[in-house]
Chain A
């Protein structure tokens, strides 16, 4: 039985920035470090975590049946076939949203805390009830954002709500970073985003086509393609969560050769 379980909310405000992909990959990475990890799909309206983990055909019961006491927790938990330290608690029916209250989420998470080192909550997009329910059950949070104005703006709203609800620490993951566009100053820089949101950076994830390939297969990148750029980033984030001091990737060094040298020269500050 885990005594000091970390319950981490993975949220973003805006949809489509990579919450579920981060949850799946972080879950796999932590499990690979030998930590018993539960991922909880709190997106009851539009659930997808099962699909990204390739577990969609193995769901029998969901959080709904657990709450209604129609089954035990361990009957609803779906253990990952290739990574036995990882379990998914699937989201229930969208109709749950009609009656689900923050206390219900707390009840589920309290049950999970009894047997896991980490509970990662995949939060729905938006700042409405679904988000508030998920937040009520969380201790700390990871805010995922992209270097785009709309994603950063929505992240700011979410950070405001996390701060007023005393969730801490709140850390930032900057997803879908394109080093080349950053070098050309056609994308918000890492410093731009961290300055504006004033959060410590837990990590950045490079844009990587392999993410789509892995989604197609239902096998998170960190499971098989550990050498892909994004997979390395996810693994680093998991290690930093565990307190390891892993230096951040410098996007400027990700592109090499004459082109990259020229771009670096172009962004040298003159005055």
Chain B
């Protein structure tokens, strides 16, 4: 955060447009590079959730599948909080601290195009 950002916040002005441009570009490029539309990504998200749900109980509303790009490498990142396994022995999720750990396991990285 720069001095300008702070002053803009204090004066409730819009932030400088360069950061908006950067964020919008990163999002649109992640989709361009993978050649996936929002609908296809959403369909994939639902199908991934269905497959994972066959093995572990997950929170269907919390699950997020997104594309993240760094250094021209696009990663498919699935963040799926697990409630418990189907045999009920291990309860994997209680608080938000654990949520982070578990989701790490569910992270699925794939090299994009």
Q: Interface on A for B, CB 8 Å cutoff?
A: 148-149, 152-153, 156-157, 159-160, 163, 182, 184-189, 192, 196-198, 265-271
Determine whether the beta carbon of A198 is less than 8 Å from that of B72.
Answer: yes
Q: For chain B, residues 15 to 46, give those with C-beta under 8 angstroms from any C-beta of chain A.
A: 16-19, 21-22, 24-26, 28-29, 32-33
Which of B2-10, B49-57, B97-105 binds A? B2-10
Contact A153 B6 (CB under 8 A): no
Q: Which residues of A contact B1 (CB under 8 A)?
A: 269-271
The docked-state distance in angstroms from the alpha carbon of A163 to that of B71 is: 13
Contact B22 A192 (CB under 8 A): yes
Contact status B3-A186, CB under 8 Å: no
CA distance A152 to B4 in the complex (A): 25
Q: Which residues of B contact A268 (CB under 8 A)?
A: 2-3
A187–chain B nearest beta-carbon distance, Å: 6
Q: Which residue of B lies closest to A160 (CB)?
A: B33
Known pairs A266-B3, A267-B3, A269-B1; A153 contacts B16 (CB<8 A)? no
Cβ–Cβ < 8 Å partners of A184 in chain B: 4, 16
B112 to chain A, nearest CB (A): 10
- Chain B contacts of A192 at CB under 8 A? 18, 21-22
Q: Evaluate contact between B18 and A185: CB separation under 8 angstroms.
A: yes
Q: Smallest distance from the beta carbon of A184 to chain B beta carbons, Å?
A: 7
Bound-state Cα–Cα, A118 to B4, Å: 46
Q: Give, as a whole number of angstroms, the nearest-CB distance from A58 to chain B.
A: 42
- Checking A163, A182, A189, A267 against B4 with a beta-carbon cut-off of 8 angstroms, the contacting residue is A267
CA distance A33 to B26 in the complex (A): 40
A193 to chain B, nearest CB (A): 9
Contacts A153-B29, A153-B32, A156-B33; is A189 near B3 (CB within 8 Å)? no
Across the interface, do A188 and B32 meet the contact criterion of CB distance under 8 Å? no
Least distance between A259 CB and chain B CB atoms (Å): 14
Q: A residues within 8 A CB of B2?
A: 185, 266-270
Of B4, B19, B24, the contact of A149 (CB 8 Å cutoff):
B24
Q: A266-B2, A270-B2 are in contact. Are A185 and B19 (CB under 8 A)?
A: yes
Contact of B29 among A156, A186, A188, A267 (CB under 8 A): A156
Q: Which chain B residues border A160 with CB–CB below 8 Å?
A: 33, 113
Segment 56-106 of B: residues with Cβ below 8 Å from A? 71-72
Instruction: Judge whether B33 and A196 touch: CB under 8 Å.
Output: no
Q: What B residues does A267 contact at CB under 8 A?
A: 2-4
* B22 pairs with A188, CB closer than 8 A: yes
A254 → chain B closest CB, angstroms: 17
| A156 with B6: CB separation less than 8 A | no
**Shortest beta-carbon distance from A149 to chain B in Å:** 5
Which 9 pairs, one residue from A and one from B, show the smallest C-beta to C-beta distance? A185-B16, A266-B4, A198-B72, A185-B18, A267-B2, A198-B71, A266-B3, A192-B22, A149-B21
Inter-chain contact B26/A188, CB cutoff 8 Å: no
8 sampled A-B residue pairs with Cβ under 8 A: A182-B18, A185-B4, A189-B18, A192-B21, A197-B72, A266-B2, A266-B7, A267-B2
Instruction: Write the nearest CB–CB distance from B37 to chain A, whole angstroms.
Output: 16
Specify which chain A residues have a CB less than 8 angstroms from the CB of B17 in the assembled complex: 185-186
**With a CB–CB cut-off of 8 A, which chain B residues contact A189?**
18
> Would you give the shortest CB distance from A180 to chain B, in whole angstroms?
13
